[in-house]
Structure 1
Amino acid sequence: MENCGIVTKKNNFNRNDIENNINEFYCDDYSYETIKEIADFLLEKTQLRPKIGIICGSGLNSLADRLENTDAFPYEEIPYFPISTVEGHVGRMVFGYLNGVPVMCMQGRFHYYEGYPLAKCSMPVRVMKLVGVTHLLATNAAGGLNPKFKVGDIMIVRDHINMMGFAGNSPLQGPNDSRFGPRFPPMAKAYSKDLIKICKRIIKDMGSENDVHEGVYTCLGGPNYETVAELKMLRTIGVDAVGMSTVHEVLTAKHCDITAFAFSLITNKCSLDYDSSDEEANHEEVVSVGQSRQEFCGDVIYQMVRAIHDEEIAKDN
């Protein structure tokens, strides 16, 4: 992490020293003031004021190409933004209209395995919050652990298991700024039941119920794929799909009171048998399956955006 670490210019600390100089002891790259500066930069350059934010996963970046009347900002042009280094991630923030609804879309995300701390990976979610976003729709590519899943299926994320969090790695580590959210945010309802119902209704209308499931997702650090033993362990504890993103983004969204929804595109079946070498995962397959199913995934998000917008308008009236 940049500009992080314990400051050692004093030999003796007391509680008041720490509380009064707390930013000296923690990475403060993404303070509230910095996040606001990023949000203000974007708001000054676009007239759109979206309430819905979208994060595109591997191979699903074409969703952003459906936006109309767009204002697009490459990550390298946005102050304090990292750069996405992964094949299949374009690397820009796009504002525009999707199905007539203003949205803010990340065309490419940041990952822990790229060398970024989790706070930096999920920083754009806080930017969305200060832009005015109230709903987050996140997509990802994932390996299917549930034997009922087949390649190309969609798994609506009902819940997650935060394996990285079990190891003490969280985007919320360090001092808590109550302007974002509480010190100890609850996670029992991390994924909105209302948004899940909307998605399931849309899927039913599309006649694609057999291709869509609900399940539990987990994020691992990567960039390597998992061993057979690791996958067996994950399946034993109830994981249906495994990837390298989303959990910390949803955790950050929940912390700052953004309603969250996520789905996984099953791009490969995980190897649970040492003799099934033909099921060994690779990134080329992930991107290829994502591209082959991007129209279907895009149709789902396209209709969800409209449904969310219409329901929020109805509530206001």
Structure 2
Amino acid sequence: MWEKVQETVSYIQSKINFAPEYGIILGSGLGGFTDDIEIEFTLPYNEIPNFPVSTVEGHKGALVFGTIGTKKVVAMQGRFHFYEGYSMKEVTFPVRVMKYLGINKVVVSNASGGVNPNYKVGDIVIIKDHINMMPEHPLRGRNEERFGPRFLNMSEPYSKKMIGKAKEVASDLQIEVKDGVYLGLQGPTFETLSEYRMVKILGGDCVGMSTVPEVIVARHMDMECFGVSVITDMGDEDNIDEVSHAEVLKAAEKAEPHVRNLIKELIIRY
């Protein structure tokens, strides 16, 4: 893994003259954020050595390098999921690469199903913590000490400072936000009524199929993380939204302008 990461980083650095500070991982329906970036370089995933290629509709498949205000960023236009058949090490490989491109702050976005009765479709939820219920762990196997410690402290997976600044930004921009705990499941099926009940009992406010692996690996390398989720459907023990991936994308796209403004201003100010 170490050698693969260094090979990929060397390739990217040979193609660009750019040292990003922020890494941004865009979820379903949120790929339009790249319109807010003053783009300097774009590298399709299929040209980057060792990189997986996204197979999911709504995930385009390129690294976009540029600036937001005075901050240099790289955005993943399309992420990878365990349910696509990739290993957790493949899913999180781009996060390892980001670290060695010089990035120390990661912003992740996703679309999720809500179980908190105070949520509604279209709500923007700042992730304050997560519950990992995925069947594989990205740090399983021999630990590479050059990346991080064998036993990782996860007492603060999402930066309290970044959360505080994001809430300040949301207030200033009059963007309504909630906060909550994100529970990660494997997918690709949407949850049953009983699974929604389980999520709620376990302490989750929303549930999705991404984000958790990337944040674990980012924290393994001591990167600061901020996560935001768009509620695209609701479910509880009595009722469940009939939902398709197309409807998820539609709901995410409706909330996208507010999410984009929140993330953009957070990056500028933090």
Q: TM-score range by the shorter chain?
A: over 0.9
The answer to whether structure 1 residue 258 and structure 2 residue 223 are counterparts is: yes
Q: Any residues of structure 2 matched to 1:59-98 within 5 Å, and which? A: 59-98=29-68
> Helix, strand or coil: the match of 1:88?
coil
Residue 293 of structure 1 is matched in structure 2 by 255
Q: Deviation of residue 271 (structure 1)? A: 4.2
CA distance in 2, matches of 1:272, 1:265: 21
Report which structure shows greater RCO (CA 8 Å, sep ≥6): 2
RMSD: 1.0
Render the CA deviation track for 1:88-129: whole Å, top value 9, x for unaligned. 001111111122321010000000110001111011100000
> What TM-score, normalized by structure 1, do the two folds share?
0.83
Paired amino acid for 1:280: E
- Which TM-score applies when normalising by structure 2? 0.97
Query: Given that residues 40 and 131 in structure 1 are in contact (C-alpha distance below 8 angstroms), is that contact kept between their aligned partners in structure 2?
Result: no
Provide the rounded CA distance (Å) in 2 between the counterparts of 1:181 and 1:162: 19
Deviation of residue 207 (structure 1)?
Answer: 1.5
1:115 equivalent to 2:77? Answer no
- The AA in structure 2 aligned to 1:239 is G
Aligned match of 2:137: 170
Pick one of 145, 164, 170 that aligns with 2:115: 145
- The answer for unaligned runs of 5 or more in structure 2 is none
Secondary structure in 1 matching 2:146: coil
- Structure 1 runs (4+) deviating above 6 angstroms are none
- Equivalent residues in 2 for 1:40-59 (5 A)? 40-59=10-29
Q: Helix, strand or coil: the match of 2:149?
A: coil
Q: How many matched pairs?
A: 270
1:159-238 → structure 2 map (5 Å cutoff): 159-164=129-134, 167=135, 169-208=136-175, 211-238=176-203
- In the alignment, the residues of structure 2 paired with residue 170 and residue 258 of structure 1 have an alpha-carbon distance, to the nearest angstrom, of 18
Task: Return 5+ residue gaps in structure 1 as ranges.
Answer: 1-30, 309-317
Which residue identity lines up with residue 80 of structure 2 in the other structure? F
How far did 1:61 drift? 0.1
Whole-angstrom CA distance in 1 between matches of 2:78 and 2:235: 24
- Of all paired residues, the percent bearing the same amino acid is 43
In structure 2, C-alpha distance between the alignment counterparts of 1:162 and 1:65, rounded to whole Å: 32
Q: Matched residue of 1:293: which SS? A: helix
- Map 1:31-46 onto structure 2 (within 5 A): 31-46=1-16
Cα shift readout 1:153-212 (whole Å, capped 9, x = no counterpart): 111111001112xx4x1011111111100001110111100000010000010122xx31
